């Protein structure tokens, strides 16, 4: 195996690792955001878990961050929660998700 082949394999492994990390971070972020939104909607227990799970699984079908924020802000509009507040909470959840994933690695 040549040095070039080894380098190519290294890049492919890093790409696969980065994609897996991004997938996990996105799923965890959506779950955290879903649990927060469920609380804002007055949902608890199984209803809250179902809302959060739906937000995660719906995202698997190529939803963008903007789609997720739009769905949650639409659900919370009647509660007086703005799109900007949801976007801010999304960023907080993303930060928390990355921290949790880093802690899981250790």
Residue 104 has pLDDT above 80, yes or no: yes
**Domains along the sequence of the chain with CATH:** 3-105 (1.10.790.20)
Residue-wise pLDDT for 26-70, tens only, equals 999 999 999 999 999 999 999 999 999 999 998 777 678 899 999
Paired tokens of 61: 């079908």
Residue-wise pLDDT for 70-82, tens only, equals 999 999 999 999 9
Spatial contact of 54 and 38, defined as CB atoms under 8 Å apart: no
Residue 1 has pLDDT above 80, yes or no: no
Look at residue 2 in the predicted model and tell me its pLDDT: 82
Residue 90 has pLDDT above 80, yes or no: yes
Cα gap 61→3, rounded to integer Å: 38
């Amino acid at each position: 195996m040549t040095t070039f082949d080894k380098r190519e394999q290294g890049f492919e492994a890093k790409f696969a690792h980065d994609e897996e990390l991004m997938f996990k971070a996105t799923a965890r972020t959506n779950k955290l955001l879903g649990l927060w939104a469920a609380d804002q909607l007055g949902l608890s227990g199984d209803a809250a878990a179902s809302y959060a799970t739906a937000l995660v699984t719906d995202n698997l079908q190529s939803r963008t961050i903007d789609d997720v924020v739009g769905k949650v802000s639409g659900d919370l509009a009647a509660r007086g929660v703005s799109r900007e507040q949801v976007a801010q909470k999304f960023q907080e959840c993303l930060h928390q998700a990355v921290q949790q994933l880093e802690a899981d690695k250790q």
